[in-house]
């Protein structure tokens, strides 16, 4: 049995089983659900090594997880003394707990409700991302610690406090009311957006790209389209944005892991299916009267899915960045706008704008300065690249910047 097979299966099924168990028994038992799933996979490892992998591994896991769940609650007398009283308002509580359904419909419903529960305003944004990585994406504590440039102990404490908050605030595993769902959806989309960004430009020590994070973020966003109240234009705009960016994922790195700039990317390695999906979801995002930053960023990303290097293309991208900054200003967007300005009006005009940004702690800022100074002042270009190298968070980036310096 391949270790990677079990890891991938864990990542796929951990989130589903935890969501279903938690939906059946309540968010206050979320840690119990995690323990039960971990025990289920331990049992699977021991059994499958002796008897081989069953024909339907997921169904085997669901059966064992259900047995372990009901055994746990009965063994600890929680089923009789706590769970049923807490669920008395639900007339079918006992039937639901006995069935503990792992149907695809119930899994999707459980995960969607878990997504909204985790994204409650009662929990800080960073903790929400951590919980999403653990509960909805099946990432290990080690992987989460690496993503946050932290350690296991800190992450465990953060997740523990977040779960305690879910309990103390009595957050329910249910979709918010129609009035509340609009406000909560903004938070859900923001967390998915941050999760995707962490994958697209990873802060981990070992790599720049985390394709698995991007895939999980896209999966979570697609879940929202299954529910009428969340399948709205801005949801589709975010999905389009992620599809366009993901389409160029394989072209952003060499087989050796070296980073490839947009201008040097091989268009043949772009995923045309994802580009077409992006166009599809961008079309679905045009209804309604709300223009969000997701809409504008998706349109910018679509332009980057064409190798056309005309002045008209960059003028349109610059116009979109100007609009984005009025809708949702961010230093990253301002920096990207400066690059678009460089493509439209040249290095000198872009330098004037770049100096106004003064992003002293941002290595991308100094990389841009290095590019802008390249044909104007070689020494300033080298100095800018060296500052960028000192601020870079990964060894891959530092090596990439060093190659730029060597070419000057």
By three-state DSSP, how is residue 359 classified? coil
Round to whole Å and give the CA distance between 258 and 209: 11
Round to whole Å and give the CA distance between 189 and 293: 11
Specify the pLDDT at position 85: 56
Round to whole Å and give the CA distance between 138 and 136: 6
Q: What DSSP state is assigned to residue 79?
A: I
Mean pLDDT of 241-267: 81
Specify the pLDDT at position 90: 45
Specify the pLDDT at position 89: 46
Give 171-229 pLDDT, tens digit per residue. 888 888 888 887 789 989 988 998 888 777 765 545 555 777 788 889 889 999 988 88
Q: Kindly give, in sequence order, each residue whose CB lies less than 8 Å from that of residue 146, ignoring residues fewer than 6 positions away.
A: 204, 205, 206
- Around 90, how many Cα atoms within 13 Å sit in the side-chain half-sphere? 15
Tokens of 63: 């059966």
Tokens of 211: 């394709």
User: Considering only CA atoms, which of 2, 1, 10 is closest in space to residue 212?
Assistant: 10
Specify the pLDDT at position 126: 81
Asked whether 27 and 117 are in contact (CB, 8 A), the reply is yes
Specify the pLDDT at position 99: 62
Output the CA–CA distances (angstroms, integers) from residue 145 to 129, 193, 213, in the order listed: 12, 19, 14
Give 90-104 pLDDT, tens digit per residue. 444 444 455 678 888
Tokens of 229: 């109240």
Asked whether 219 and 243 are in contact (CB, 8 A), the reply is no
Asked whether 285 and 234 are in contact (CB, 8 A), the reply is yes
Mean pLDDT of 38-49: 93
Give 108-146 pLDDT, tens digit per residue. 889 889 999 998 888 888 888 888 888 888 888 887 887
Helix orientation angle between 311-327 and 331-345, rounded to the nearest 10 degrees: 150
Give 193-209 pLDDT, tens digit per residue. 988 887 777 655 455 55
Give 304-324 pLDDT, tens digit per residue. 998 888 999 999 999 999 999
């Amino acid at each position: 049995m391949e270790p990677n097979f079990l890891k991938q299966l864990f990542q796929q099924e951990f989130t589903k089983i935890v969501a279903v168990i938690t939906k059946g028994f309540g968010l206050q038992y979320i840690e119990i659900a995690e323990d039960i799933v971990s025990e289920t996979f331990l049992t699977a490892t021991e059994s499958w090594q002796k008897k081989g992998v069953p024909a339907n591994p997921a169904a085997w896991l669901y059966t064992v997880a259900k047995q372990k769940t009901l055994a746990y609650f009965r063994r600890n007398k929680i089923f009789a003394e706590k769970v049923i009283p807490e669920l008395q308002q639900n007339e079918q509580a006992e039937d639901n707990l006995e069935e503990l359904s792992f149907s695809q419909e119930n899994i999707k419903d459980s995960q969607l409700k878990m997504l909204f529960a985790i994204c409650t305003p009662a929990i800080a944004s960073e903790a929400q991302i951590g919980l999403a990585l653990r509960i909805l994406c099946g990432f290990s504590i080690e992987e989460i610690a690496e993503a946050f440039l932290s350690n296991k102990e800190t992450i465990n404490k953060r997740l523990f406090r977040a779960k305690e908050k879910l309990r103390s605030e009595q957050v329910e595993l249910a979709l918010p009311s129609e009035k509340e769902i609009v406000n909560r959806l903004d938070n859900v989309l923001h967390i998915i957006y941050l999760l995707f960004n962490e994958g697209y430009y990873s802060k981990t020590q070992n790599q720049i790209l985390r394709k698995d994070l991007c895939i999980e973020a896209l999966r979570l966003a697609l879940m929202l389209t299954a529910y009428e109240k969340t399948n709205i234009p801005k949801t589709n705009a975010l999905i389009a944005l992620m599809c366009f960016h993901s389409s160029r994922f394989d072209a952003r790195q060499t087989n050796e892991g070296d980073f490839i700039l947009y201008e040097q990317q091989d268009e043949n390695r772009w995923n045309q299916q994802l580009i077409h999906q992006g166009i599809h979801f961008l079309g679905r995002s045009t209804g309604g009267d709300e223009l969000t930053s997701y809409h504008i960023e998706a349109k910018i990303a679509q332009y980057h899915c064409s190798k056309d290097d005309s002045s008209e293309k960059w003028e349109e991208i610059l116009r979109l960045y100007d609009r984005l900054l009025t809708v949702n200003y961010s230093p990253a967007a301002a920096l990207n706008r400066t690059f678009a300005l460089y493509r439209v009006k040249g290095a000198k005009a872009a330098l004037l704008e770049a100096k106004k940004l003064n992003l002293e702690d941002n290595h991308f800022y100094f990389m841009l300065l290095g590019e802008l100074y390249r044909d104007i002042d070689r020494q300033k270009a080298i100095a800018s690249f060296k500052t960028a190298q000192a601020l870079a968070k990964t060894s891959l980036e530092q090596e990439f910047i060093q190659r730029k310096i060597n070419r000057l």
